[in-house]
Amino acid sequence: MTGDTEGDLQRVRSWARWRDKLRERPAANFTYRIVVGVVGAVVLFVGILAIPYPGPGWAIVFIGLAILASEFAWARHALRFTRERYDRVMDWFKAQGMWVQVLGVVFTCAVVLATLWLFGALSWSANLVGIEWPWLKSPIGLGS
The pLDDT tens digits for 123-133 are 888 888 988 88
Task: Please state the domain count of the chain.
Answer: 2
The pTM of this model reads: 0.72
Query: Which burial class, exposed, middle or buried, applies to 48 when counting CB atoms under 10 A from its CB (0-12, 13-18, 19+)?
Result: middle
- Do 70 and 106 lie in a common domain? no
- In a shared domain, residues 30 and 57: yes
Contact call for residues 36 and 64 (beta carbons, < 8 A): no
In which band, very low, low, confident or very high, does the pLDDT at 3 lie, cut at 50, 70 and 90? low
In terms of domains, do 63 and 52 share one? yes
Do 5 and 59 belong to one domain? Answer: yes
Query: Which structural domain, as residue segments, surrounds residue 65?
Result: 1-95
Residue 81 sits in the same domain as residue 107: no
